[in-house]
Chain A
């Protein structure tokens, strides 16, 4: 079946550095992707989305890049802060990737 998956399960970054979280998808017909952030003990929350007619979308300190040629998207977090420590999921419709656990080192 179709799947959405992540390359790296864990990521540690120094506070203030930029973070990049990657995601691969297999359904070439996918036209809408969402990144979610899940803090400890809470449900996932929407961060940012991107449609397939775009290759980049920016939010506040976050940027999502979409490469349809290789079916890959990434989430970039600028100037990572301790509050960014969480698990990040990419999703296409109701299909969620494995998740990447981001730890910010003070």
Chain B
């Protein structure tokens, strides 16, 4: 597609359940990012994938959070045993990382709104 696509757009889940959030980056973009944004807050970096390199997982808040990127394209963010504090918007983004300065511009999806009840 033309932009970063995320699904589901909204998810309500019960505490303790696992959830999977999907991201389809812009075609040809080698870099993919996941951020979390709580209501009225800034962007919290979670994880970064670049090509075939090992992902930067330094932002994952706990071992309940994991992400994978298959075939260098689609990514899935998994949250196990969800807690109420996991409620937030999960934003996926991608960039071309072409080596030029403009390759650093990050393009965001509309986000997946997660509510844990």
Contact = CB atoms under 8 A, between A and B. Distances in A.
B43 A89 contact: yes
A43 interface: yes
B101 A51 contact: yes
A43 B110 contact: yes
- Number of chain B interface residues as a range: 20 to 34
A84 interface: no
Given A32-B101, A43-B91, A43-B93, A94 B33 contact: yes
Contacts, number: 47
Contact of A34 (B33, B104, B110): B104
Interface of A: 32, 34, 36, 41-46, 49, 51, 89, 91, 93-99, 101
Given A32-B104, A96-B42, A99-B41, 20 more contacts: A34-B105, A42-B111, A43-B91, A43-B93, A44-B43, A44-B91, A44-B106, A44-B108, A45-B108, A46-B106, A49-B102, A49-B105, A89-B42, A91-B106, A93-B104, A94-B48, A95-B45, A97-B42, A98-B42, A99-B43
